[in-house]
Amino acid sequence: MGFTLNLAEDRTIARPTLVPPPSDAHKYSRGHAMVWSGPPLRTGASRLAAQAALAVGAGLVTIIGDRAALAEQAAHVSAIMLREADDKLACIDRRVTALAIGPGAGVGIADIVCALQKREIPMVLDADAITAFAGDPARLFEHLCANDVMTPHAGEFARLFLDIDLADRAAAAYTAAQRSGAVVLLKGPHTHIAAPDGRVAVNRHASPWLATAGSGDVLTGLICGLMAQGISAFDAACMGAWLHGDIGVRAGPGLTADKMMDHIPLVLRGCLHDASADDTGPRT
């Protein structure tokens, strides 16, 4: 729905194509993304993810967490909804079309991740949702499927895949996807994406200005927001990486994670099918 992945013959990700929502679109038809909040004083990372999910086009975004965390979130967000987590997670209803968990979540999050995975909602796992399984990756892999995306940086990758050599990052992502059963997006100056069915891609459209705290949390939100709109895990990971890179290319010096959202409208405008009259830069 909306976005189409474009891949070059060598599997390099190119600018995605975006078609505007149909005239009869409503917020639920554009998907409902949910992001798990970090605890009080660690809410920023999840908020960055939620803001990116909304900006990339999810019709609704809800941050879920405990009451104290939500009080903190409420001081910062308006368009994003807040919902208190109950013991049985009953507040995650059928209308939630994608979930993101990990940014700022704390490494005690493993049980929650496993419980959420039983809901069969496509998930993006980042940061602490990866690190939490450092001692027992098999427990995580047992629950993952090809509709889920993991987005490790090299440090997080090594915590789950101790024996996989990162010297060849494309091969490392491929092996990790086969082993885990999920789409693996290995972050770096070039970002490699692999699906358990053997599909691979690489994003080279990025900028070292993206090496700033919270930038990966924004990527998590972009991917979750795309998945919420009905885009498959592999395509969402690939397009999220490209859009994230384009923000970095456009923003350049002075880029900070909380300013990344400001660039998303122009990044998306540049992807519009009829963007020929647009002056939004080279169509790489």
Ligand X SMILES: Nc1ncnc2c1ncn2[C@@H]1O[C@H](COP(=O)(O)OP(=O)(O)O)[C@@H](O)[C@H]1O
Q: Which residues are annotated as a binding site?
A: 45, 104, 153, 187-191, 216-217
Residues numbered 175-214 forming contacts with ligand NAX, rule: CB under 6 A: 213-214
Smallest distance from ligand NAX to CB 270, Å: 27
Residue placing its CB nearer to ligand NAX in the complex, 220 or 229: 220
Query: Would you count residue 57 as binding ligand X (CB under 6 A)?
Result: no
Smallest distance, ligand X to C-beta of residue 185, A: 8
Residue 12: name the closest of 170, 230, 220 by CA: 170
Binding of ligand NAX at residue 65 (CB under 6 A)? no
Torsion of CA 222, 202, 164, 138, to 10 degrees: 40
Smallest distance, Å, CB 29 to ligand X? 29
Q: How many residues does the chain have?
A: 284
211 binds, among ligand NAX, ligand X, none (CB under 5 to 8 A by kind): ligand X
CB of 104 to ligand NAX, least distance (A): 4
**72 is a site residue for ligand NAX (CB under 6 A):** no
DSSP state at residue 272: B
Those residues whose C-beta lies under 8 Å from the C-beta of residue 3, and which sit 6 or more positions away, are 16, 17, 18, 19, 226, 229, 231, 235, 239, 271
Cβ atoms of 15 and 284 within 8 Å: the answer is yes
Angle formed at CA 103 by CA 255 and CA 38, multiple of 5 degrees? 115
The residues of the shown chain that bind ligand NAX, judged by CB under 6 A, are 44-45, 103-104, 127-128, 131, 153-156, 213-214, 216-217
